[in-house]
Structure 1
Amino acid sequence: LSFLKATETASQSLVVENDYRVNLGVFGMLNARGLSFIDFKSRVEETVSRGYPGSSPQVVVRSTGVFQVHLIGEVGSTGLAQAWALTRLSSVFSSYQTVFSSERNVRVRSVDGMTRQYDLFKARRDGDLSQDPCLKPGDTVTLSKADRRISISGEVKRPGTYQLLPGENLRALVDSYAEGFLPFAMPGYTTITRRPSAESPQGEARIVDASRGDFTMSEGDTVSVSAREQFLPVVYVEGAIAIGEELAVQFETDRYTYRPGLRLSQVVRSVAERIQPTADLKRAFVSRKDATDTIPVNLEKLLYAYDPVDDFLLQAEDRIVIPRGSLDVFVTGEVKQSTWVNVVALTRLSQVLGDLSTEYSSIRNITIRSATGEERSFDLFRALRYGELDQDPYLAPGDMVMVARAERRVRISGEVKRPGAYQLLPGEKLFHLVTIYAQGLTDLSDSTRVRITRMLSPDSRVGELLYVDGSTEAGLQQGLEDLDSVMIASNQEFRPTVFFEGSIGTGIPTSSSAVELLDVSNRVRYPYHPGTKLSEAVLSLRGQFTAVSDIEHAYLRRASGSMVIPVNLEDFLHRFDFSNDILLEPNDVIVVPFRQFFVTVSGSVRIPGRYPYVPDRSWAYYVGLAGGIDENTNNGRGQKIFDYLGENRSTDDPVQPEDRIFVPANSFLYNFGRVSTILSTTISVASLVIGMIQLAK
């Protein structure tokens, strides 16, 4: 404030306090609440003019005032923020927001207690400044937590992360927030990825058509709109080209979107700057899907001496292969992947195919095309079986190895000299499999029983079994199909046997379980040969007898059932006494009974006696078998266990075979009852004697 005071110019600084009061000095106090600067200026100048007429007062702004606003709610930390007259709500929001703060629901409470709600997204997106007001002294700003934050990416005009209002879902996200699809978008392949939650611990991903219907969105959802380009077929360029900024170390693959009418020259010129200096452009070729032959092309001529005759139309999934001018061969066909393999001067065909072959790769029909175009076929089976190295040649730079698919893969097992899996040539039958591949039958074979398991049958989805007499010419001419399995039976399957039954082989688990079968009867086969003696069979099976085998009381039962012969196997096993040896006959049965152990229970029990031993049981089990403790004579304590030698054993240990359990009669009333009669009789007699003596006096 400046004005004329007499002949001198006077000036005074005016400060608008937080409560809008202004101290005008000698002119008094002025309340500036609700006044604009123009109104405030007029009021001050009128007040000064009344006090000093003709003083020409003038009010100008020297500086703006600084004040503080309070921020609470979803903020990093509650506090006071510095502001001035032109500070907008968005400035304070950006400084104090967290990742969870909502820009759609920001509340400002002024000093007069009025609360207003603002949507900063509308201010930022639509330029609606009414949603981004200037702050005033005493304002309190409250930030809320965002309800739903959804991200959208891909083929939309404005991808990003947005906070949706209640009731808004996928359609609003695409149309309003992302402002619609781009021309290349494929709305029918829109992916919605949902984060893991309590209802869906692994999350969820689903594909929807965003152009049809609306879909509910949840917090943290991610929406991706695919481009049509992603679903177009491609043409591959591989070999001596650079991918990205790095040069290819070996051979890389690039993709070029295919459209009808695409020519070879268009693709090659698009990658011309990335072709390696070591590339052999003259030996390039195009590998076409489902075609056995490749199309040789001279890319050097196509690039630098273009002739339309050398150019041609490409097809979807064509592979343009640019080899290196080095010691490399190209392997394709029925392999894990078509690739270039670096070779040295003495690299054979089998070495290259080792790691690239699949279970369907043929070793009987492999074609090698040289750099000059000459083709030869090779049979690696002959090289591996007969050592014919001309069927496993050395490879030369520029060779192309083409592996065919195996036509018939069969397996043979059983009584043949070389069982295994083989690939048959056209026209080969069971005779060739047995005599050539498996190199004949063994001496134990039964050629009359040949079983063929056919996995692929037109008459049955589960295959079929064929039985063939391989001893006849007609049987050997049996045809074989892919995946057939041939089994040659053994004549030993029908040899006579003798059997051991009962307590033999016990304690040996019959499955992967480690549980011991201590009391399960078994049946063990022993091959019979004329002249076999019982002692020979017993000694060969000595490891099958256990502690519960009663070898002293075994017996032999003839197959006819008419004769039972007691035998003491202990003579053979421990005494080596063979004087009572027996000549076995086919189908004899040697029965080895289980040894029975007992435990003796005596004393104050209801039914004393000997009871069968059961492993891992305590004394209480056997006392229970004896009817339990006689409570009239025992007080429940004092049980004793003695082993078969009479030594005292702990009652906490499991009872062992032939142990003796003694329950003493230690009840006080029982012992007292035993002597009470004697005492009463003695007392009675003494009383009688004393009485008679008294009478005699």
Structure 2
Amino acid sequence: MKRRPVIFCFLLLLNALSAFAQELSVPEVAESNTLNQFAQLALSSSDYRVTAGDIYTLEYAASTVPVIYKIVVDTSYRIKVSNLGVINASGKSYQQLKAEVEAIVTNNYPLSGVQLVLTEPASFRVRITGEVRNSQEIATWALARLSGLLDADNRTSYSSLRDVSVTALNGQTRTYDLFKAQRFGDMSQDPYVRPGDVITVNRITRVVSVAGEIERPGEYQLLPGESLRELIGYYASGLSPIADPSRIELVRQVESAVDSGDKIYLTREAIDAGYPLQHLDTIRVPSITELIPVMFVEGAVRVTEEGDELTTATRLTVRFNMGENYASLVQQNQVWFSAISDTKNAYLIRGAERIPLNLNPMLYDSSYRSQYFVEHNDTLIIPFRQYFVTVSGAVYSPGRFPYIPDRSWDYYIGLAGGFLPERNSREKVDIVDLAGKKLTKKDIITPETNINARANSGLYYFNQYAPVITTVLSVVSTFITITLLITQ
């Protein structure tokens, strides 16, 4: 009976140790998976170069004796192939090394089934400096390219991707243009990094931006000697089909006489001639659609299709194509109009001429064509159709008030100054619409509705006639008194 607790405790201890061992093995498994992934990438890439720190496994059969030989590459890059020879692996790819090693073994042991496999690719560190936020060393490996090490978060607004220098361990420095690699796929400008490389990000010298009707708007770093011609044709990939190169706008900020910058107007000839550009120049290529004529619509119209509030200050600018008929223009823009738009009495202002224009047949008859065509700078006026609501009875200021859609009865009572409390103590009203139908307080108030605030306070009428009654009673009382005195 006493052994059971001991056995139970022993089992718990074994479970705890097993769980602890599994936790310890997780990083090792993750690291092993990463190494296997790198090894697979290296084995499948013809570009992988033999790197100091690589670990290879050589397997073959010497007569009937299996041989497994591990090869570690050091910084001398001299590799000893078992006891059969020495190879200089510097600058060679994995495939080249594999072919040479297997050839040496085969020459000595024919039919040996020789195989050289990269089991652990090397990792190494490179240094990044120059126009970056923080100079730092980064751990990487032999299939990492230059662009992948230049983290955007570590670059500054002055970091140049057109001028990145890489200095190798032997002191040789080469300069690369990552724009060409990213834009055109020129991978010679985005090399693989090597152990001990020092990457220097140089400072930009000239950046310009281009917008408007070009195929690739954006900000570009220009090389020395490049001009407006290269910016439009090479970087921006040319003009769009609707570009207007006769009205190119250039804003120059650097060394400008005014804070807002100097604006310069250029033409296609400036592109062809290679107009020189300065640092931070901004170029905009306008569209030919900007030259499309415009007309204006004013009055009781909505600003957008969402149905904004109507105001008397509304003015719409409308572009149109030559030959546009007013009927088609109105039909295409029915959303402009609402219940308070007086479309029947609209009119057109054309120069000094005022032309009546009934829009109703245009709105409701799709086959209708107006005798008027839209002209440049026409102004179409849509008057407000003004309705009123009448408020009478026990209010401070009875009268007629402008009708506003979706307002309740108490809104118009408020416009009339509110109820007279001595005449209307319970907010009783009689509401009658234009057709004579009696409405309740919950009904929607329609145009030309009459709202009567009933004088329903008995005390009010008593106060109105109390002086008269008092006077009459006083006269009667006096008459009776005098009569009694005389009769006595």
Does the TM-score normalized on the shorter chain lie above 0.5? Answer: yes
Q: Which whole-Å CA distance do the structure 1 matches of 2:397 and 2:126 have between them? A: 93
CA contact (8 A) 1:334 1:361 kept: yes
1:578 matched residue in structure 2: 368
2:263 matched residue in structure 1: 466
1:567 counterpart SS class? coil
Q: Tell me, which stretches of 5 or more residues in structure 2 are unaligned? A: 1-73, 77-121, 469-488
Cα 1:672–1:486 shift into 2, 3 Å: closer
Shift of 1:424: 0.5
CA contact (8 A) 2:396 2:417 kept: no
1:391 matched residue in structure 2: 189
1:455 matched residue in structure 2: 253
CA contact (8 A) 1:410 1:483 kept: yes
CA contact (8 A) 1:602 1:662 kept: yes
Shift of 1:410: 0.8
CA contact (8 A) 2:256 2:262 kept: no
Q: Which whole-Å CA distance do the structure 2 matches of 1:529 and 1:643 have between them? A: 46
1:329 counterpart SS class? strand
2:413 matched residue in structure 1: 620
CA contact (8 A) 1:597 1:612 kept: yes
Deviations 1:51-76, CA, capped at 9 Å, x for gaps? xxxxxxxxxxxxxxxxxxxxxxxxxx
CA contact (8 A) 1:331 1:400 kept: yes
1:657 pairs, out of 447, 454, 467, with 447
1:486 pairs, out of 278, 283, 287, with 283
How big is the alpha-carbon RMSD for the aligned residues of Structure 1 and Structure 2? 3.8
1:536 pairs, out of 313, 319, 328, with 328
Cα 1:508–1:576 shift into 2, 3 Å: closer
Q: Is 1:339 equivalent to 2:136 in the alignment?
A: yes
Deviations 1:147-183, CA, capped at 9 Å, x for gaps? xxxxxxxxxxxxxxxxxxxxxxxxxxxxxxxxxxxxx
1:556 matched residue in structure 2: 348
Q: Tell me, which stretches of 5 or more residues in structure 1 are unaligned? A: 1-279, 283-324, 511-515, 677-697
1:248 matched residue in structure 2: none
CA contact (8 A) 1:370 1:396 kept: yes
- Amino acid paired to 1:642: V
Shift of 1:488: 1.9
Deviations 1:120-173, CA, capped at 9 Å, x for gaps? xxxxxxxxxxxxxxxxxxxxxxxxxxxxxxxxxxxxxxxxxxxxxxxxxxxxxx
Deviations 1:455-494, CA, capped at 9 Å, x for gaps? 221755x262131323224884432222221122333323
2:378 matched residue in structure 1: 588
Q: Which whole-Å CA distance do the structure 2 matches of 1:332 and 1:606 have between them? A: 82
Q: Is 1:429 equivalent to 2:227 in the alignment?
A: yes
Q: Which whole-Å CA distance do the structure 2 matches of 1:437 and 1:420 have between them? A: 9
CA contact (8 A) 2:159 2:204 kept: yes
Q: Which whole-Å CA distance do the structure 2 matches of 1:520 and 1:665 have between them? A: 37
- Amino acid paired to 2:368: F
Q: Greater helix share, 1 or 2?
A: 2
Report runs of 4+ in structure 1 exceeding 6 Å deviation. Answer: 507-510, 604-608, 628-631, 670-673
Please list, as runs of the form range in 1=range in 2, the aligned pairs for 1:96-175 lying within 5 A after superposition: none
- Amino acid paired to 1:453: V
Cα 1:472–1:344 shift into 2, 3 Å: same
Shift of 1:635: 5.5
Bigger Rg over Cα? 1
1:518 matched residue in structure 2: 310
CA contact (8 A) 1:456 1:463 kept: no
Q: Which whole-Å CA distance do the structure 1 matches of 2:235 and 2:464 have between them? A: 96
- Amino acid paired to 1:660: N
2:179 matched residue in structure 1: 381
- Amino acid paired to 2:223: L
How many residues get paired?
Answer: 342
Q: Which whole-Å CA distance do the structure 1 matches of 2:289 and 2:353 have between them? A: 28
Cα 1:487–1:648 shift into 2, 3 Å: same
Q: Which whole-Å CA distance do the structure 1 matches of 2:463 and 2:260 have between them? A: 84
Q: Which whole-Å CA distance do the structure 1 matches of 2:255 and 2:260 have between them? A: 5
1:354 pairs, out of 115, 137, 151, with 151
2:229 counterpart SS class? helix
CA contact (8 A) 2:229 2:271 kept: no
1:405 pairs, out of 203, 217, 222, with 203
- Amino acid paired to 1:418: R
Highest RCO, 1 vs 2 (Cα 8 Å, sep ≥ 6)? 2
Please list, as runs of the form range in 1=range in 2, the aligned pairs for 1:74-473 lying within 5 A after superposition: 326-355=123-152, 356-457=154-255, 459=257, 462=259, 464-473=261-270
Cα 1:470–1:507 shift into 2, 3 Å: closer
Q: Which whole-Å CA distance do the structure 2 matches of 1:607 and 1:406 have between them? A: 74
Cα 1:622–1:376 shift into 2, 3 Å: closer
1:565 pairs, out of 332, 356, 370, with 356
Identity of aligned residues (%): 34
- Amino acid paired to 1:341: I
Cα 1:671–1:365 shift into 2, 3 Å: closer
Cα 1:670–1:579 shift into 2, 3 Å: farther
CA contact (8 A) 2:248 2:265 kept: yes
Q: Which whole-Å CA distance do the structure 2 matches of 1:605 and 1:339 have between them? A: 82
CA contact (8 A) 1:600 1:660 kept: yes
Q: Is 1:501 equivalent to 2:298 in the alignment?
A: yes
Normalising by structure 1, report the TM-score: 0.44
Q: Which whole-Å CA distance do the structure 2 matches of 1:503 and 1:572 have between them? A: 17
Q: Which whole-Å CA distance do the structure 2 matches of 1:491 and 1:453 have between them? A: 20
